[in-house]
């Protein structure tokens, strides 16, 4: 049940999706992979919205070069574990939620345990091998995945519902070359907020999700488009020959 303090805090949201919707947010468990450029705005807005439990996993420490875009890390956090820096800020923003911060590498030996019984997985990573691992885990556990990626002024986002929509491997059967990519700070802010918006819509059961659509943001032109796609018959994760079909 929502407390009187929570009802006051979330009053403008309750106007949108009622007490039941806000209570669903409070009871929800979200796994966020990454505490960097995308993970910071995702975690910030989900915490502010009242998502009750956030498990955030990232292996890195705060560096000065992060500060142009990773908005929950500040000058005094340099050298600190990113997940601890994020946890500190989120609890200051909203003390009514629970944060579990884990400084770990996400790999095939621990990803299933790390995701655990989450209601939803957020891909806020900066590399495709881990994204593919999260995508496969989402299908194995039948947990929705919210994907986001950025480069420079450009970004993309989509939502994967296992068994109902195309998966990340359908869209990107081959990973792009690994690189240290340029980025302006507003780009992960925009894409991260789109991801957070998808999370909230899914958890409260409202709106139309970005399933089978890839949202493309072009910051230089200030244009946003969506590309439609479908499940690939030969996809190794969700196609005809995969184990979950």
Say if residue 194's pLDDT is above 70. Answer: yes
> What's the whole-model pTM score?
0.96
- Quick one: average pLDDT of 108-120? 98
Distance CA 225, CA 237 (A): 26
> What dotted CATH number matches 4-228?
3.40.50.720
**Nearest partner of 35 among 74, 75, 81, 78, judged by Cα:** 81
Q: Residues 149, 127: contact at Cβ < 8 Å? A: no
Say if residue 245's pLDDT is above 90. Answer: no
- Quick one: average pLDDT of 38-62? 98
How would residue 51 be classed by pLDDT, with cut points 50, 70 and 90?
A: very high
SS3 content of the chain, % helix, strand, coil (to 5): 40, 20, 40
% pLDDT > 70, the chain: 98
pLDDT tens column, 203-218: 999 999 999 999 999 9
Distance CA 180, CA 219 (A): 19
């Amino acid at each position: 049940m929502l407390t009187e303090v929570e009802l006051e805090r979330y009053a403008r949201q309750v106007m949108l999706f009622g007490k039941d919707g806000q209570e669903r947010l409070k009871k929800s468990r979200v796994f966020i992979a990454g505490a960097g450029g995308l993970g910071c705005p995702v975690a910030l807005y989900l915490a502010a919205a009242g998502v009750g439990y956030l498990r955030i996993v990232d292996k890195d420490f705060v560096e000065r070069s992060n500060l142009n875009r990773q908005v929950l890390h500040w000058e005094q956090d340099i050298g600190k574990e990113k997940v601890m820096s994020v946890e500190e800020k989120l609890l200051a923003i909203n003390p009514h939620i629970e944060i579990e911060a884990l400084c770990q590498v996400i790999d095939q030996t621990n990803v299933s345990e790390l995701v655990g019984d989450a209601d939803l997985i957020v891909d806020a990573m900066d590399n495709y091998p881990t994204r593919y691992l999260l995508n496969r885990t989402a299908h194995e556990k039948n947990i929705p995945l919210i994907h986001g990626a950025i480069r420079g002024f450009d970004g993309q986002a989509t939502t994967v519902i296992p068994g109902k929509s195309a998966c990340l491997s359908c869209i990107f059967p081959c990973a792009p070359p690994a690189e240290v990519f340029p980025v302006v700070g507003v780009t992960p802010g925009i894409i991260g907020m789109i991801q957070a918006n998808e999370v909230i819509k899914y958890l409260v059961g409202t709106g139309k999700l970005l399933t089978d659509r890839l949202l493309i943001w072009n910051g230089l032109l200030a244009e946003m488009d969506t590309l439609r796609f479908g499940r690939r018959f030969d996809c190794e994760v969700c196609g005809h020959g995969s184990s979950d079909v």
